[in-house]
Structure 1
Amino acid sequence: MDDLVAFLRARIADDLAEAQKQDDERSWVIEPWRIRRDEYEGNYTYREYLQIAKARVLREVEAKRAAIEDYERSLENSRVHPDDLPTSGALLARLGAVKLLASVHADHPDYRPEWAPTA
């Protein structure tokens, strides 16, 4: 499963690199649910939408990293070799979560069928 983690880390790095390209002088903390509709007449500009999307991507990057670290910590504590399938319920659940995170990249050429959440 080391390859799965490496694959997911690479996709996270890709997401982060893309989000960082969308940079300007304004803060990226704008949230759609904190903006009153009448302030923007019910519509966001393309730029405002990019700000919202970037803020969300940055939070997703951190959440995905935390899930991977939780899985790796649990794997290390269980003394299961990373290439062996875990057998404990908690570790299997964490592996399932990592597989779910990776599954959004199932169309990537490096994605492997055995990483599918149902595999």
Structure 2
Amino acid sequence: MDDLLVWLRAQLAEDERDWLPTATGARQNGKTTARRMLAEVDAKRRILELYDVSTSRELKPDAWELMKHAVRALALPYADRPGYRDEWRP
């Protein structure tokens, strides 16, 4: 799971690098889309932070499995990128 977290954070950083210049650009429609994409990156990072916090607490096995499944689901949009592993599919 640690490999997935590292890889997914790298994908989010790449998304952020790709969208940040557009968010400050002149076209309103593109700017709105870029802001939404950056908000998605932020939301996904927050979910990963919740996962990190949950690893230091005792969770019921079902709750732990749900957390792992959620993190795997976050990685699905990036399944076509290099480094994605089929074992990460939810």
Q: Deviations over 1:65-99 (max 9, x none)?
A: 11101111111213xxxxxxx97111111111110
Greater relative contact order (CA < 8 Å, ≥ 6 in sequence):
1
Q: Which has the larger radius of gyration?
A: 1
Per the TM alignment, residue 48 of structure 1 is displaced from its structure 2 partner at its CA by 2.2
What pairs up with 1:11-26 in 2 under 5 angstroms?
A: 11-22=11-22, 23-24=24-25
Gaps of 5+ in 2: none
TM-score (structure 1 length as normaliser): 0.69
Which of 78, 81, 84 is the aligned partner of 1:105? 78
Structure 2 partner of 1:65: 45
Richer in helix (by share): 2
TM-score (structure 2 length as normaliser): 0.89
Is residue 54 of structure 1 aligned with residue 34 of structure 2? Answer: yes
Give the partner amino acid of 1:67: I
The secondary structure found in structure 1 opposite 2:56 is helix
Give, in whole Å, the separation in 1 of the partners of 2:60 and 2:9: 24
List structure 1 segments (4+ residues) > 6 angstroms apart after TM superposition. Answer: none
Give, in whole Å, the separation in 1 of the partners of 2:85 and 2:56: 23
Q: What's the Cα RMSD here? A: 1.7
Gaps of 5+ in 1: 27-46, 79-85
How many residues in Structure 1 have an aligned counterpart in Structure 2?
89
Is residue 115 of structure 1 aligned with residue 88 of structure 2? Answer: yes
Give, in whole Å, the separation in 2 of the partners of 1:70 and 1:113: 24
